[in-house]
Structure formats: C-alpha cells, structure tokens
C-alpha cells in the first residue's frame, strides 16, 4: 500500500504570495495503490512473459462511456509498464474474438463473474482458443467523484482490477489504484482524464510481487 500527498510548485506559490500578489495554491494530489490478493505462484514479470488483454468494464459506477475510458487507460498503463509484452485493449480484444462469436463469451464471462465472483472454466477455455495472451485483466470503476464544497473542488477516481490466468483458470492477482485531487474553484481544474491515467498507473504499479532477473518462464499452475 502506498499513499502520498504533495503540492505541485508549492515553493513558487509561497514566493508569489510573499511578494504581495494573490495566487491560488496548486492542487493537492493523493495517489495510492494496494495489492489485495496474490496467488502463490504468481509474480509481476509473468505479465511481461505471457501478455495481457483488458476485458470490458461492465460493473462499478459511472456510465458506460466512462467505464470504457477506464478500461482503455488500464490497457495503456500495462503497455507503459510492460513495453515489450503483448497488451490488448478492450476494443481490440472484442474485435479479435468477434469472427468466432467469442466476443459475447467474454462479455458473458464478465457479467457472470460480477454476479457470482466465480470464474467459469468452460468459457475461459473457449476464450483461450481465441487470444494469444495468458492473462485477462478484469476491472471495475469503484469511485468516480467530482464535487464542489467549501470553496474547493474534489475529484477522485479509483479502479479495482484482477488478473485472470487463462491457462490455470483462476484469479492470480487483485488490487486497486486511486488518484485524488483537491483544488481551488479559482483554478482551471485538473482534467478528469488525468485522474483516470493516474489511477490506472497506480493499479498496475501494485501488480506483484517482483522477482526481478529470476523470471525466465511463466509460472506453472
């Protein structure tokens, strides 16, 4: 778990205020990530070896368009963290599966998991025949907040995500990432897109543990 508050450019703002010129304080930002579950055989480098495809975000808060943005940023975060790995976005995954009718299998798999919290091994086996990666990234938008109160604007995005091992038919990792901003109403405002990028980056940063150079092969089931 990691948490951090910081003020961007605080020293500059103090200097301006000391000179007698009014200036709004820069935004307060808090980032955080947590690893909540790790299978005994899983390690971070396995994602770089086996590759990952992001599933549609069907649960959680926010309208469909917002959840789609969250899924896209999760894929981008995996791409930045594992630049040599195969990383498949939600849209590309569904497009890849559609000719064989497996796109609906992927959607049904996520919907059933939202309800039962159990993975269907039969559907995973069918998907395994249509994708080239070992891991599926399930995600849910847990918090999507933007509100004004007491002269300040508060924004927050939190993602919960899991990695499903298609080969072993099990959840091998679960965790979350969040990005929060508190800023003055006088400021231009931090774009919500920046919060999605930050939350996704934090979520992927939590994937682990890392075993470094010892990682040569993907883990066995």
Give the domain ranges of the chain: 26-211
CA of 138: how far to CAs of 38, 52, 73, 114, 212, in Å? 15, 10, 13, 10, 25
pLDDT score at 5: 41
Give strand pairing partners of 155: 146, 181
**CA–CA gap between residue 101 and residue 104 (Å, rounded):** 6
* pLDDT tens, position by position, 143-173: 999 999 888 999 999 999 999 999 999 999 9
CATH number corresponding to 26-211:
3.40.50.10610
Phi-psi region of 4 (alpha: psi -120 to 50; beta: other; left: phi over 0): beta
Question: Judging by beta carbons within 10 Å of its beta carbon (0-12, 13-18, 19+), is residue 184 exposed, middle or buried?
Answer: middle
DSSP 25: P
How confident is residue 208, by pLDDT bands cut at 50, 70 and 90? very high
pLDDT score at 217: 82
How confident is residue 23, by pLDDT bands cut at 50, 70 and 90? low
Residue 154 in contact with residue 145, Cβ under 8 Å? yes
* pLDDT tens, position by position, 69-113: 999 999 999 999 999 999 999 999 999 999 999 999 999 999 999
């Amino acid at each position: 778990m990691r948490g951090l508050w910081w003020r961007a450019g605080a020293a500059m703002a103090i200097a301006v205020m000391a000179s007698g010129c009014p200036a709004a304080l820069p935004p307060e930002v808090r980032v955080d990530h947590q690893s909540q579950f790790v299978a005994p055989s899983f390690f971070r480098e396995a994602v770089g070896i086996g590759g990952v495809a992001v599933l549609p975000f069907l649960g959680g808060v926010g309208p469909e368009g917002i959840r789609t943005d969250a899924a896209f940023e999760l894929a981008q975060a995996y791409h930045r963290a594992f630049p040599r790995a195969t990383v498949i976005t939600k849209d590309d995954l569904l497009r890849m599966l559609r000719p064989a009718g497996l796109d609906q299998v992927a959607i049904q798999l996520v919907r059933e998991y939202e309800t039962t919290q159990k993975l269907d091994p039969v559907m995973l086996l069918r998907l395994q025949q249509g994708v080239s990666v070992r891991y599926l990234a399930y995600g849910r938008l847990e918090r999507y907040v933007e509100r004004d109160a007491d002269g300040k604007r508060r924004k927050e995005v939190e993602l919960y995500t899991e990695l499903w091992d298609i080969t072993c038919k099990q959840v091998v990792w679960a965790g979350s990432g969040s990005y929060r901003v508190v800023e003055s109403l006088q400021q231009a405002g931090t774009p919500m897109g920046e919060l999605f990028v930050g939350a996704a980056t934090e979520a992927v940063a939590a994937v682990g543990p890392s075993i470094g150079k010892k990682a040569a092969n993907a883990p066995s089931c």
